Structure 1
Amino acid sequence: MMTFKKTIIIAGLFIAVFTSGADSFIISPLLPEIAREFGSSISQTALGVTIYALCYAFGAPIFGPLGDRYNRRKLLLSGLSIFLIGTLLCAFANSLVAFYIFRAVAGIGAALFLPNVWAFIGGYFEGKQLNKVMGIVMSALSLSIAVGVPLGTFLSQLSDWHMAFFASAGIAVLAFIILLTILPSTKPSGATNKGYVANFITVAKTKNAIPALLITLFWMFGFYSIYTFLGSFVNEKFHLNLVAIGYIFVTYGLSNFVASFFGGNLMNKIGHKTSVIVNGIISILFIILMGFSENSLTLLIICLIVLAVAQGFGVTALTTYIVGIVPDNRSTVMAFNSSALYLGLTFGSAIGGLIFQSIGFNGLAVGSAIGLIIAVLITIKLKETKNA
């Protein structure tokens, strides 16, 4: 039964996850203005995005075992506090170097915060309720994709780029107050008697743990290799302006949000593994179709919406599966899952760029599909967790 207390906890986690996700996207439309103020190039300013991502990707595995040894409430709130401070300081940055440092602080906070969110949900909720809650909270990331860029643009127009970071910090404060008030303490898992390194060894030796993390890696590689260059393709092929392209990405984000929000209902009916496989196959088919829709913008948008829904259902099911693989080391395994996601994004964008330049969008679609095919094949070999 979903009590009032649990509902407020979910709301607090949703707001916090939304803030950490939106923080990565609101900066995109602000880059030219920030570059002008600091007297730097846009590419130099954009390193702030890279620094945030790298601190998150490499910080998460370092902090992961802490959530399995200590009270997750304290770690979750500590991470959110560090993220909040880093984001707020970005608003006061008076040089590019200071901006880099404060983005790094925010990334470190997110690295401590987000893996413990998923681990907390996995330990506090059970069965069908776990599936629904994971879907709802994960949909916050989808919503941040949809509204992050337009939100950053709107806030900067109210004043300047500083306003966007003030607003992001303000939302983080709201989430912090809610979670500080109602988030329950959690007892450390059975991993407390193990050494720090032993947490990594346990995850590595647990059956299905490494394969599941590889699914995330290849899935994200496949998705981001084509998603990263979608805007460039649409602009080049259909000559749309930035506003029109923005609407296309908002459409994707909102479709993905709805699917993620209700992803738990699908998991409860068909299970984690089946949901990942089915939605992975749908993603593969529509990515290939999207690659050959270069003569029809309508067909491309339809493919993108279907892809958004499949990704929303599939990624939610995959994350819920992974959080249950190693019950005593949830924070550690979710930290590595976060790193796998960012590594997939990094390699997908880098290799996708080479394919896009040398072969074109058709070849990019094939390369993207190959990544997802590998992810689906690995999934077929996995066994369901007890929460399925």
Structure 2
Amino acid sequence: MSKFPILFFLIMFMIGTDTFLVSPLLPTLQAEFDVSTSSAGWMLSAYALGSAVFALIAGPLSDGWNRRVVLLCGLTAFSVCTFLCGFANGFWSMCLFRLLAGISAAFTAPQVWASIPSVMPPQRIAKTMGLAFSGLAASQAFGVPIGSWLASGGWSVPFWTIGCASLLLAGFAFFALPSMPPANAAAPGVGAILRRYVPLARSGRARAGFLAYLLIHLGSGAAFAFSGKWLAEDFGLTVGEIGTAVIFLGLGNLLGSAVSGSAAQKLGTARTVAVAMIGAAALYALLPRLAPVSAATAVYFAICTLLGIVFPLVMSALTSLNASLRGTISSLANATMNGANTLGAWLAGLMFVHLGGYAAIGVFAAVSLAASLATFLAGGLFRPSPAADRP
């Protein structure tokens, strides 16, 4: 059984690292391809766009196919597309390969969350979810320095390295994963895709769960989007110092994900989520009022640790809503997260400019988390599924 948590950790680490890979390379790629700063951003956006849009399609399709096959094909395509990024000879070819890598990731990452309940015993699902989230957190902490270090040998080297490593990982997955045929196979098509969302739309617990999931990412996304500007303006940190702070925050997320399952076993899932979210909301409200940068960073580390505890438990609860729709649920959660983070960043910009800086963002994040917790509890996401919600 131990091979599955390690496999899922490594898959999420590779996908997360690839997500952050272009950020440290952006100035180099901009000069290499001779494009403007505004255009260069599309080398980042292409990946996110492909991942977010195709997740809504990939999830329902995967629920009608063998989940092992979908994961293997997605991971193989992801490795090839990332490897090809290293051969891009212009701006548009790089955007194309990044778009294809994002689409491949949309077929891969949701299968991790959907596969965990299928291959792990019930008592180990929460811990394995936490370990998979630890892979994402580790990539957040180390993706930028890994990309920068590998790029010292040329901007293509990081893409070739991640591509080759992901291909080896696909080989490991080929031998490690069992067959996971669909519970209710359906011919893929527009009608089949839409029909897979109907049970979720009809379920009050699902509606409440996804609304709460949107709210928690709306608040945390808004706070994170302008954290760098806040650290620069209020504390005078340089870009390098801000990067170090981001690594530190990623380590907090990593710590929270690692202890998430154990905390839920001791306190219960609902109580663990409630305590962590109340604590994070209170710290968000306090955060902008802290003067020493060391205190501010320590409090933000604590926030990331608490949120790292929450996210695996929420994802585990969401995927338990309907066992035959785990791919759809995981993909919808991914799209919800990306949409909430995008909206949160836009709102944070308005608040930073018009409502007195980061203090307003801290209050907004606190209120969003409080509203999210109230929605989680009122919707009963962490209660055992009633018969109406089960497949």
TM-score range, shorter chain: over 0.9
Q: Report the CA distance between 1:156 and its aligned residue.
A: 0.9
Instruction: Quote the residue 2:63 is aligned against.
Output: 68
Per mean C-alpha deviation after superposition, the further-off stretch among 43-52 and 115-124 is: 43-52
Q: Are positions 1:347 and 2:347 aligned together?
A: no
Q: Report the CA distance between 1:191 and its aligned residue.
A: 5.5
- Contact kept? 1:191, 1:329, Cα under 8 Å: no
- Contact kept? 1:324, 1:385, Cα under 8 Å: no
Q: 2:41 is paired with a residue of what secondary structure?
A: helix
C-alpha distance in structure 2 between counterparts of 1:357 and 1:59, whole Å: 33
Instruction: Quote the residue 1:367 is aligned against.
Output: 364
Q: 2:181 is paired with a residue of what secondary structure?
A: coil
Pairing of 1:139-154 with structure 2 (within 5 A): 139-154=134-149
C-alpha distance in structure 2 between counterparts of 1:196 and 1:35, whole Å: 39
Instruction: Quote the residue 1:303 is aligned against.
Output: 299
Q: Report the CA distance between 1:347 and its aligned residue.
A: 0.3
- The AA in structure 2 aligned to 1:133 is T
- Contact kept? 1:16, 1:175, Cα under 8 Å: yes
Instruction: Quote the residue 1:56 is aligned against.
Output: 51
Pairing of 1:119-130 with structure 2 (within 5 A): 119-130=114-125
Within the candidate set 266, 274, 278, 1:277 is matched to 274
Instruction: Quote the residue 1:292 is aligned against.
Output: 289
C-alpha distance in structure 2 between counterparts of 1:101 and 1:366, whole Å: 39
C-alpha distance in structure 2 between counterparts of 1:86 and 1:52, whole Å: 11
C-alpha distance in structure 2 between counterparts of 1:78 and 1:68, whole Å: 15
Within the candidate set 151, 162, 165, 1:171 is matched to 165
Distance 1:124 1:385, change over 3 A: farther
Give CA deviations for 1:97-138 in whole Å, capped at 9, x if unaligned.
111111110010011111111001122223221111111111
Give CA deviations for 1:265-288 in whole Å, capped at 9, x if unaligned.
112222332222221111111111
Give CA deviations for 1:326-367 in whole Å, capped at 9, x if unaligned.
111111111111110000111011111111122201111112
Pairing of 1:1-388 with structure 2 (within 5 A): 6-157=1-152, 159-190=153-184, 192=186, 195-293=192-290, 295-359=291-355, 360-383=357-380, 384-386=382-384
Number of residues paired by the alignment? Answer: 380
Per mean C-alpha deviation after superposition, the further-off stretch among 132-141 and 169-178 is: 169-178
Gaps of 5+ in 1: 1-5
C-alpha distance in structure 1 between counterparts of 2:250 and 2:277, whole Å: 18
C-alpha distance in structure 1 between counterparts of 2:354 and 2:192, whole Å: 48
Give CA deviations for 1:217-253 in whole Å, capped at 9, x if unaligned.
1111100101111111111121122222111111111
Q: 2:89 is paired with a residue of what secondary structure?
A: coil
Q: Report the CA distance between 1:197 and its aligned residue.
A: 2.6
C-alpha distance in structure 1 between counterparts of 2:118 and 2:204, whole Å: 20
- Contact kept? 2:65, 2:185, Cα under 8 Å: no
Per mean C-alpha deviation after superposition, the further-off stretch among 202-211 and 132-141 is: 202-211
- Contact kept? 2:206, 2:318, Cα under 8 Å: yes
Instruction: Quote the residue 2:388 is aligned against.
Output: none
C-alpha distance in structure 1 between counterparts of 2:121 and 2:199, whole Å: 23
Q: State TM-score, norm by structure 1.
A: 0.94
Q: Percent identity?
A: 28
Q: State TM-score, norm by structure 2.
A: 0.94
Q: Report the CA distance between 1:206 and its aligned residue.
A: 2.4
- Contact kept? 1:13, 1:175, Cα under 8 Å: no
C-alpha distance in structure 1 between counterparts of 2:245 and 2:192, whole Å: 48
Gaps of 5+ in 2: 386-391
C-alpha distance in structure 2 between counterparts of 1:174 and 1:85, whole Å: 11
Q: 1:94 is paired with a residue of what secondary structure?
A: coil
C-alpha distance in structure 2 between counterparts of 1:58 and 1:303, whole Å: 34
Q: Report the CA distance between 1:147 and its aligned residue.
A: 0.2
Per mean C-alpha deviation after superposition, the further-off stretch among 112-121 and 42-51 is: 42-51
Q: 2:379 is paired with a residue of what secondary structure?
A: coil
- The AA in structure 1 aligned to 2:219 is G
